[in-house]
Structure 1
Amino acid sequence: MSTPAEFPVTWAPRRTRAVLLPVCALLVVMFAAMAIALPANWQLNDRIMMAVSGVLFAGVGLMLARPRVSADAEGVTVVNFVRRRRLAWAEIVGVNFRQGDPWATLDLADGTSLAAIGIQSGVGKAQAIADARALRDLVARHSG
């Protein structure tokens, strides 16, 4: 049985962020450079849309870099691609990370479940399992 993590603790796919953030910056620079380097027969609105396209692509990359799960004495904050949700410890009844699952799932007291994408197998299966166990131990310690 793993030892529960101490507060505050955050689980996030750091390698994914380390790749995505520079790529997003590169996209903005690259599309801006393309907008400037377009042939003279391209109009201003074409150049603006080229630059805006780079910003949009970078925005998608930043959205993919968002997921994380943070725990503190009051509860857990789950930040997924688009949404952020704050949960009190009593709202979480279980943490699942089954074989083949891409990320951990929280079972909630209201009968629903919530994907915790910040704990994902893409960072390494062993690390993801250890992170899910640490969160499960924290839930067991603070929910009862």
Structure 2
Amino acid sequence: MAKNRFNDGPGPSNRQLRVGELIRRTLSDVLNRGDIHDPDLNRMSITVSEVRASPDLKIATVYCLPLGGKNRPEAIAALKRNKHELKRALGKEMSLKFTPDLRFLIDETFDRMDDTRRLFARDDVQRDLDDGSDGDAP
């Protein structure tokens, strides 16, 4: 069975993936509409990039990032502070038997992509890449 890099167990099921995507879209809509009664949260533009549902679908880990990547701690604090209201809003819009508990984490994918771009832009790395690009095997 295939393993994923996040929990060293079997990869997520199709059901987990479908529920995660449904939660991601719904949560994004709720945050964009400003349905939550918290001026601090409504002032922020938060991108929900991924939601991973646990195998029993009782916990949803929400990976998000505030616009521009600034004020990360404040964004996570505002989301955690409004977790119950967000869960209630999800429950109203989704047709799941149980609304999962929400956990919020900063999505660091964009930071890793920037680090990778910087690495590939280095002169010594470019030189190594150019040296091996002619297709000749040593």
| Highest RCO, 1 vs 2 (Cα 8 Å, sep ≥ 6) | 1
TM-score, L = length of structure 2: 0.26
TM-score, L = length of structure 1: 0.26
Task: Give 1 or 2: higher strand fraction.
Answer: 1
